[in-house]
Structure 1
Amino acid sequence: MAAHCEDSEQVVVGIETDNGLWVQALHAVGYRVYGINPLSASRYRDRHCVSGAKSDAGDAKILADLVRTDRHNHRQLADDSSAVHAIKVLARTHQSLVWARTRHSNALRAGLSQYYPAALAAFPDIDGRDALAVLQRAPDPSAGATLSLSKISSALKVAGRQRSIDARAREIQTALRSPQLHTSDQVVAALSASTTATVAVLLVLNTQISELQTQLTDHFETHPDADIYLSLPGLGVILGARVLGEFGDDPNRYTDAKSRKNYAATSQITVASGRRRAVIARHIKNRHLADAIDMWAYSSLRASPGARTFYDQHRAAGDTHHQALRALGNRFIGILHGCLRHHTHYNEHTAWARGIVNTCGSGCFRRPPFRRADRRLRAMLAG
């Protein structure tokens, strides 16, 4: 490409991904790179060929035609800093490991319920350090029933507990020695082996999550926008890093608050045809960002009186819990956009001074927000 054009800014590249070494190299040279969603490329292919034929050369021409004529309808690769790229990688890895820990914790709980209910009674927090330490030493009911107080106390100390060790050890011993139903020895042996393996995985996950959290904190706190993110209610270091990493720090990426909300998938979409019309939530979205915003909105309920009032009004209007959180998250994204644009910290009075429900210019919805279509409307849309 360099041989055919002296000015790199005149080169426009369409590619069906927005990450990787090849994309970074194209962007570093100065080319304008557009990451095209594979679904969009497939639909564009159908515009010109309905036979289903497909080839690499044909796909290349389709992408070239797309960015030549329709690039104004697609998003150019953002000019984010290396710092925010590092934060995004660490935040996504941390989040993925947290999700993996949840999956393995659920698997451990399900396995214990089949042969070791006393362990579930002893440890409500099954992936906690106390539970994992004791289950390492006693993965089956017979071993748990024979554990002495000294062995339980030793396991708790090794796990890091420093307070109420003796009292907690007695509680655990009482629970493990309580009467419970039993299954065959072969099944117990198999399930205990599964428990041992799952406990080992959870211990490694806990260690790696802790180490990643330290690294993520170090990277996030050195970013110039970190103090703005941390000033918003409900955003701590981890959630703030997730939101920053997914939104990026390119000041020209989002033209206004609406475009930032659309990218986050918190704004509604309209499905209309003739007399049929429905306003619904977006289901195609960045799941990493959507999860972070949902947790952010929920965490803000205790930290911000304005957020609490906004949530309560949406609930009183008939919204479900998640609908109200989605609307609150949408409002906070608008507030975040304003803070970043003006380089100012969050102010509770400024954020909610113009009202709660009817202040649509500040980021909330006009009624009704995300109201689910009733059965009749769904049938009309399907038909």
Structure 2
Amino acid sequence: MSHESGIDVYLGLDVGKGDHHATALNRAGKRVFDKPLPNSEPKLRELFDKLQAKHGTVLVVVDQPASIGALPLAVARDTGCQVAYLPGLTMRRIADLYPGEAKTDARDAFIIADAARAMPHTRRTIDLANETVAELAMIAGFDDDLAGESTRIANRLRGLITQIHPSLERVLGPRIQHPAVLKLLDQFGSPARIRKAGRRRLATLIRPKAPRMAEQLVEDIFTALDEQTVVVPGTDAAALIVPSLASSLQSVLDQRKLLATRIEELLEAHPLSQVLISMPGIGIRTAARILIDVGDGSGFATAGHLAAYAGLAPVTRSSGSSIRGEHPSRRGNKQLKRAFYLAAFASLSQPESRAYYDRKRREGKHHIAALIALARRRIDVLFAMLRDGTFYPAAHTGYGLTKAIEAPFRAPDACWWARTTVESTDTSHSMSPAASACACAAWSIRSNVPSAAHRRKRVWRLAHDPYRSGTSRQATPVRNFHTIPFRTVRSSSRGRPSAGCGSNGCTSSHSASDSSWRRITRP
């Protein structure tokens, strides 16, 4: 494969702040260069030109394409070298295949070069990013840092207020990032100072930032202040810290607003921005993250490859007959996975996404699993949009999001015992409930398949028992197993079925070879 690519030298760089370590291998795996390399453009350019003049085409491979690895890649492109990168986790796992346990720059550089030569499928291509995407990546990274900083400051601020006055925190805590609350805490950082300021002064201070809730917020604050009369030790010290934290949090939030404006300007200049934003649930920051990590989608062969890269494709784990099934992936691009997950959550107000989410919930998946399944399905749509350059309404047809999904039958609360679905080998019956609990006609449903042809351990789906009050749970059916051929019989003159058909409305089974009634037990 190396000969087919036309590469003559594989140069592995273990990048560093001041110096890199460079190891160059030819096609046969022989070292042609193995020395430390200063992180400066003249030295990098000199090495790249020398290797190209002496050996031919050079592939420069790094383990970090950004940050300290950005300059070597830029110089390599400028000198005509090909570039690629080997993910750090992949490199560490490949290192276990080589003899020795040492961790040195020279060994890492050799492993990077040899893995790129002998295992070309492990290396990743690096597309030349335009100025817009490069600026987006830098601003989005700084915005992520500010988001984490704002969360840290807000938690610290709420913790201090909880320590000195829990009732006041219950009022201000949920609105801790509101400009009116931050201005209040910046001016009056302790419960005593807030009480001393008075209602009128607080309302005058808050009203420009929160004209609708100013009066109610002031009343809630003074109601909370009246609930505590003792002064907790440390209140005076907190009065010095709270204004500083409030000012810092407001500054961080203002910076995020400026960055959001700049991100929006950069997105408008990109041709794919309108395609991404046309999909429900994708906003400015989510579109920026997708554009940075996915681009136009040409780097992925199929939507499945994109889902695997984002860590949203399920992983199959099986071992003989004891362990099998699919599990969520623990790998992938965490930031991209978070963007797809949040976009799927935001799209639940859209009918197609809500229908798909509800279907997964009825299948027994919990909330997070259903959202991950929705995010995975939306990747199929997004990949088609990027591939064809189409907007969402024209791209989502045919991917299952708009398919009509009918909810399984649910009986009224009064007929909770009648909700039963029986699945056999050849037939599937749904039993309709009676009109009410007071008039339930006797009825019987038999399977069309002879009892001798029934398989053992047939799956039953039964609704949950009701609450003690008698109201229905209206929940996802549970799965039960029965081990004998059966016919389902229920009879009742009124109210719940009689004891002969199983107490409390339980379904009973009867075998042609066994005349006794047996109640189904649930695991």
- TM-score normalised by the chain length of structure 1: 0.84
1:7 CA displacement: 11
* Residue among 112, 117, 125 paired with 1:68: 117
Alignment of 1:168-179 (within 5 A): 168=216, 170-175=218-223, 177-179=225-227
Higher helix share: 1
Unaligned runs of 5+ in 2: 1-47, 405-523
1:248 CA displacement: 2.7
Is the alpha carbon distance of 1:240 and 1:316 closer, same or farther for their aligned partners in structure 2, counting shifts above 3 Å? same
Q: Which has the higher contact order (CA 8 A, sep 6+)?
A: 1
Alignment-derived partner of residue 367 in structure 1: none
* SS in structure 1 of the partner of residue 317 of structure 2: strand
Residues 147-185 of structure 1: CA deviation (Å, up to 9, x unaligned): 223421332256x334464x2464255335422153445
Matched, 1:109 2:158: yes
- 2:168·2:225 contact (CA, 8 Å) conserved in 1? no
Alignment of 1:193-208 (within 5 A): 193-208=240-255
Residues 202-250 of structure 1: CA deviation (Å, up to 9, x unaligned): 011111111111111111111110010011011122222222222234x
What is the rounded CA distance, in whole Å, between the counterparts of 2:188 and 2:55 in structure 1?
65
Alignment-derived partner of residue 355 in structure 1: 400
- 2:150·2:249 contact (CA, 8 Å) conserved in 1? yes
1:8 CA displacement: 11
Identity of counterpart residues, as a percentage? 25
Residues 106-133 of structure 1: CA deviation (Å, up to 9, x unaligned): 2211221111224324323112111111
* Residue among 129, 133, 148 paired with 1:84: 133
- TM-score normalised by the chain length of structure 2: 0.62
Alignment of 1:238-317 (within 5 A): 238-249=285-296, 252-275=298-321, 276-302=323-349, 304-317=350-363
1:39 CA displacement: 2.5
* SS in structure 2 of the partner of residue 146 of structure 1: helix
* Residue among 232, 242, 259 paired with 2:279: 232
Matched, 1:134 2:184: yes
1:103 CA displacement: 2.3
Amino acid in structure 2 at the alignment position of 1:106: N
* SS in structure 2 of the partner of residue 33 of structure 1: strand
- 1:11·1:31 contact (CA, 8 Å) conserved in 2? yes
Structure label with greater radius of gyration: 2
Alignment-derived partner of residue 143 in structure 1: 193
The size of the alignment, in residue pairs, is 352
Amino acid in structure 1 at the alignment position of 2:198: S
CA RMSD of aligned residues (A): 2.6
Is the alpha carbon distance of 1:284 and 1:309 closer, same or farther for their aligned partners in structure 2, counting shifts above 3 Å? same
- 1:216·1:238 contact (CA, 8 Å) conserved in 2? yes
1:54 CA displacement: 3.2
- 1:144·1:176 contact (CA, 8 Å) conserved in 2? no
Alignment-derived partner of residue 212 in structure 1: 259
Unaligned runs of 5+ in 1: 360-383
What is the rounded CA distance, in whole Å, between the counterparts of 2:171 and 2:108 in structure 1?
59
Is the alpha carbon distance of 1:335 and 1:118 closer, same or farther for their aligned partners in structure 2, counting shifts above 3 Å? same
Matched, 1:154 2:204: yes
What is the rounded CA distance, in whole Å, between the counterparts of 1:180 and 1:213 in structure 2?
41
Residues 56-109 of structure 1: CA deviation (Å, up to 9, x unaligned): 222222111111111223321233322112112222222331232122212211
Alignment of 1:364-379 (within 5 A): none
- 1:115·1:182 contact (CA, 8 Å) conserved in 2? no
What is the rounded CA distance, in whole Å, between the counterparts of 1:27 and 1:268 in structure 2?
37
Higher strand share: 2
Residues 5-34 of structure 1: CA deviation (Å, up to 9, x unaligned): 259993212211121222333344443322
